[in-house]
Structure 1
Amino acid sequence: RSNRRAYAYLLIPSDDTLTPIARRRLAAIREFSELGAGFRIAALDLELRGAGNLLGGRQHGHIEAIGFDLYCQLLERTIEELRTGEELPEVETAISLKVDLKIPAGFIDEELHRLRIYKQIASTRSEAEVDALYRDLEDRFGELPPPVRNLMEYARLRILGRARGVMSIERTAQGIDIKFHETARIDPERIVELVGGGSGVTFAPPATLRLQSAPSRAGLFSSIENILREIA
């Protein structure tokens, strides 16, 4: 500690007697040795132990009430505000559409690789980056399974929503609710045209657009994206 460097020696049985999971844990310790790498080791351990339906459409308790994606974004925002001591001015779009979001082990079998892909998807900041990552994943791994395509479209909706001041996009029993922040950058005339155009979209004060009949899973993302593009 302090100015003294410490060493720890871990004694293990011969490699032949180790289980595959044990080998992966040891590989993670070797790879993630820098300061602050504890989170990545913990995330890998969670996946090895079994994360259940953590990234799926079914959740429990307060996470079920607000959605896993919204829960994570609220947590990240609170941590950042506590760290900086000031409120974040940018509106982050929380999305809860009750669809599966994950990279299946059958698509990418290496846990560490899947964690890196999750980070890449979450780090996209433009539609061009989403499209480029989509093509890259297809080139490397083949056709994307539905849960991975859902992840990519979530990233696209988050980008479109942030640019328009959308606070949340939520799938409910009544349809799809798109709620705007008071500083939302939208054209009121476009809203009037959209609501009056027979598209099944209604406006609920103070700042919510509702797509009354929730589209099928196949057209879910494209329907929401079209609305967000219409109001820009």
Structure 2
Amino acid sequence: LKQLKKRVDVLTLSATPIPRTLNMSLTGLRDMSLIETPPRDRLAIQTQVVQFSENVIKSAIELELGRGGQVFFIHNRVETIETIAALVKRLVPQARIAVGHGKMNEKEMERVMLDFIEFKYDVLVATTIIENGIDIPRANTIIINRADAYGLSQLYQLRGRVGRSNRRAYAYLLIPGEQELSPIARRRLAAIREFSDLGAGFRIAALDLELRGAGNFLGGQQSGHMDALGFDLYTQMLERTVAELRGEQVDDETSVSINLGVNVAVPDDYIQDMGQRLRTYKRVSSARDGGTLANIRRETEDRYGRLPPPVEELFAYARLRRLAEEVGVISIDKTADGIAIKFGEKARISPEKLRILVSTRTRTTFTPSGVLRMDLNEEEADGVLRVAREALLELRVED
């Protein structure tokens, strides 16, 4: 569309935007609106994560058939899908069962779906081919085999195939066993179980962004962490480029690398909503002056309560970064005994103040390459952000 007409407005609708799309909105490349009002009489889907069990499968299907409904059974391996269909038939002999998957020809698959819609079958055993575009109000139970193998957004989309009427819907996520789950699979399953209320798609997408990374804006990669560049630097570069394209004035800035091993993560139990947590990170990292940071800190405390230590560290980290950029610092790194601050060639520090600091502070040196090394005692090491900030405040040239 953009190639046909560059100034055309495009509206994209998604229940769970992919990480790249969501991050485009969070960084200002796209505007975003949230529709949080569900359709009238729509009920939340009851979601259970259970170990694979024939009894669970049997009771779930019989419960749905007993109220005149239909069932989706998702098994995403074509080579064994007939075996699963036979298992379902053995467990629930009275059920009329159909099988659908991507290796069937188009007309055959269409016939299966039409027959299921017309209630000629009770259970559809299918692959994820039914993930999108299926709206069958009578189908209100979905069983997903090996749910641990699916992505978070994919689980949300599959679960959304049921509960499309005013009847209570049920989703059963079958797993091989807790001990076989990877840590990230546990987080995904816990999230899909927790976010079962109506309109939870944005929170699912936000967690998906957190788990999978933001992807590549300029290429085809839809997720992935920018380990080589760092998210903060990547976001800053992107924002500057967007501002330049919009014709806005962009000031030259020094990019500072800070590696002090400090925990600056916002705890889940402090800001429980994933989307709000991401917005907090974004606002703090984007603040360009102390006044803005102070306002964000005050708003955060007013909304969520007293700041826990990691969030205090997050704001301290942001203040240090702003000051380091102002002074002209290239990097601040943790060393075995303390910290090392590397200054750029045009660093705005006073040579006389630097001489006094090095001569009066024990175990402090300044190398010809522009690196200030400061050994820290145990108390100073616990407040490394504060120590680094105080050193820069002491050395900077006053306007």
The normalised TM-score by structure 2 is 0.44
Cα distance in 2 for partners of 1:159, 1:124 equals: 8
**Partner residue in 1 for 2:230:** 71
- 1:17 Cα shift? 2.8
Structure 1 stretch displaced more, 18-27 or 191-200 = 18-27
Shift of 1:72: 3.0
Find out whether 1:208 has 2:371 as its counterpart. yes
Contact 2:349 2:395 in 1 (8 A): yes
Stretch of structure 1 that moved more, 215-224 or 97-106: 215-224
Match of 1:230 in 2: 394
| 1:13 equivalent in alignment to 2:162 | yes
TM alignment of 1:9-48, pairs within 5 A: 9=133, 11=135, 12-14=161-163, 16-17=169-170, 19-21=193-195, 23=197, 27-28=201-202, 43-47=206-210
Structure 2 vs 1, CA of residues 189 and 179 (structure 1 numbering), >3 Å: closer, same or farther?
same
* Counterpart for residue 307 of structure 2: 144
Any conservation in 1 of the 2:206–2:274 contact (CA below 8 Å)? Answer: no
For 2:288 and 2:369, how far apart are their aligned partners in 1?
28
Distance 1:204 1:92 in 2: 21
The reply on whether 1:157 has 2:323 as its aligned counterpart is no
Q: Higher helix fraction: Structure 1 or Structure 2?
A: 1
Tell me which structure has the larger Cα radius of gyration: 2
Deviations along 1:189-217, one digit per CA (max 9) or x if unpaired, are 11111111125422122101111125545
Q: 1:121 matched to which residue of 2?
A: 284
Q: Is the 8 A contact 1:127 1:156 kept in 2?
A: yes
Indicate the residue corresponding to 2:384 in structure 1. 220
**Which among 103, 107, 120 is matched to residue 270 of structure 2?**
107
Partner of 1:56: none
Structure 1 length as normaliser, TM-score? Answer: 0.72
Q: Which amino acid aligns with 2:162?
A: P
Provide the residue aligned with 1:176 in structure 2: 339
Unaligned runs of 5+ in 2: 15-132, 136-160, 172-192, 214-225, 245-250
AA of the residue aligned to 2:320: L
Q: SS where residue 196 of structure 1 aligns?
A: helix
Q: Give the Cα–Cα distance (whole angstroms) in 1 for the partners of residues 323 and 234 of structure 2.
A: 21
Tell me how far apart the structure 1 counterparts of residues 393 and 11 of structure 2 sit (CA, whole Å). 56
Say whether the 8 Å CA contact 1:214–1:220 is kept in structure 2.
no
Output the CA distance in 2 between the equivalents of 1:215 and 1:130: 29
Once the two structures are TM-superposed, the CA of residue 142 in structure 1 deviates from its matched residue by 1.4
Q: Aligned partner of 1:17: which letter?
A: Y
